[in-house]
Amino acid sequence: MSIQNPIIRGFAPDPSILRVGEDYYIACSSFEWFPGVQIFHSRDLVNWDIHSRPLDETRLLNLRGVPDSGGVWAPCLSHDDELFHLVFSNVKSFQGVWKDTPNYLTTSSSIDGPWSDPIYLGSAGFDGSLFHDTDDRKWYLSMETDHREGKFFGGIIMQEYFPENKSLGGPIHKLTEGTDLGCTEGPHLYKINDYYHLILAEGGTEYLHAVTWMRSKNILGPYELHPNNPIVTAAHHPRHPLQKTGHGDIIQSSDGKWYITYLCARPLTTRGRCITGRETALEELVWRDGWPYLKNGHKLTRQEIPSDTQIKAKPTLKHYCFQDGQFPLDFQNLRIPMSIDWCEMTTEGMILYGQDSLSSLLDQSLIARRITEHRTKSSVQISCQPEHFQHMAGLVLYYNTYHWIYCFVSANDKGDSCLQVLICDKYKISELLTTPIVLPDSNDLKLEVVWKKKWAQFFYSIGDNSTKKIGPPVDASILSDDYVCDAKVRYRPAFTCAFVGMACQDLRDKKFQARFKNFTYEILP
């Protein structure tokens, strides 16, 4: 048996790992997707399942209007033997000279909540984390944004947190400017034996990404560099299957071993596009002369790690009926909480009431799940009665508001139901079909997409009729960080991954609705 990296597949970046007793938790970024923060659970560090998304109320998280790849960045999950502490950023803007990155802390006595009203920690930077020292003092760390002369990354700062006052206080300490790799962010602090160990993400969260390490006997420094920094990176190995490795966190297991988790990505081609986004990997650490090294003897991440732990087989086909009143944890929506105003679970399926367009930062009726592999098939049954070309509902491949591929049913000027595929590529929208497909009936329609690496092919069928292609294959690799990120616009974030899901729009009077059921997601060989 072997551990398969990534251990969490499909959009699970910036992992913050925690052990409480025999339970392990990893919290990951969720950006504009609601509810906020993804928490995964394991009992053995090998088999991981989605456990919860704790920021599930607007009192905890307001994402309405946040930009693409804004919202929840790099959460930090910790525990002080009494409370769980969850630190997170809610990034409001990131383009231009200034960055609006408010940071918050919420606590709970249980990982299942309820979570307290968020405590504002400041907006000096992002990637905040909370360190619980052995003397019971608590310290808040983050990177500092510096807009002067285009610097941006201003180093790592730290300030004491006083739980009795629910606020930061005392002097702000600059711990380090980082190493020569630059783009210093993602700090996590640990005290191990006589040293404070500072873990950093550096090199930028792309193909030069890395985990770097420093230590000091004084929490305020000075911090000395690891003799073999960075300890994790794929920067010099472009053909390695796991790229962008960086932004790490560590844990000691119940049997005394040390492990490090960090993000990684699987490009379709050599340093090409990564449709599954940034994911979570794991490797074991060993210590030499008080410094950690990967046990595998190098800085690269293995796809397979020998293990005696029984690996639980995960289903390659998932079926979601939406008829049992339960909303599957695999799915999320954009920016706003789910409410009966726009999404209703019934015994006949899920009804979406049409709202804004796919370009909206406000009120979209869109429910979707992550793409986790390079070869997948997804389908859904849909019933609706569009009466106007501004009524739309269907199956969508989505990255952000200006990168998506939408196969939908609408109406032509005669009132006939018809099928079309729209492609949004860097704000430009094109139609796949010269002439939309006129449907005899849109109440028993099945839409399907088969996505194999770069290409996605859409299909449809009505009732028991045979399945037919909808136009030619579409280049769906545009739904990746590597394509979406515009190198001409500095720090335009593109940090999520491709999703597949269901959407409904009424750009006319917000009265159109569509019913969805029997959604399937299959991993193909």
Identify the residue whose tokens are 């630190």: 87
Please calculate the CA angle 144-150-156 and round it to the nearest 5 degrees: 15
CA distance 149 to 154: 11
CA distance 348 to 328: 16
| CA dist 175 → 122, 147, 187, 386 (Å) | 18, 19, 10, 59
CA distance 261 to 280: 7
| End-to-end Cα, the chain, rounded Å | 20
Q: Please, what's the b/e burial string for 181-193 (b: 16 or more CB within 10 A of its CB; e: otherwise)?
A: bebbbbbbbbeee
CA distance 364 to 342: 9
Q: Is residue 202 annotated as part of the catalytic site, yes or no? A: no
| CA dist 287 → 16, 99, 206, 296 (Å) | 21, 38, 28, 12
Q: Is residue 448 annotated as part of the catalytic site, yes or no? A: no
The two three-digit tokens of residue 128, written as one number: 């905040």
Write down the catalytic residue from 32, 144, 185, 202: 185
Would you give the distance in Å from CA 239 to the centre of its chain?
Answer: 24
Q: At 483, phi and psi to the nearest 5?
A: -90, -40
74 in Cβ contact with 247 (< 8 Å): yes
Would you give the distance in Å from CA 182 to the centre of its chain?
Answer: 23
Query: Strand 49-52 vs strand 38-42: parallel, antiparallel, or unpaired?
Result: antiparallel
The two three-digit tokens of residue 209, written as one number: 């990404």
Which residues, in sequence order, are CB contacts of 229 under 8 Å at separation 6+? 179, 181, 210, 212, 213
Report the residue count for the chain: 525
Q: Beta-carbon neighbour count of residue 119 at 10 Å?
A: 17
> Helix, strand, coil: what percent of the chain each, to 5?
0, 50, 50
**Strand boundaries in 29-184, DSSP class E:** 33-34, 38-42, 49-52, 71-79, 84-91, 103-108, 119-122, 129-132, 138-146, 152-162, 167-176
Amino acid found at 118: P
Would you give the distance in Å from CA 419 to the centre of its chain?
Answer: 31
Q: Catalytic residues, which ones?
A: 14, 185
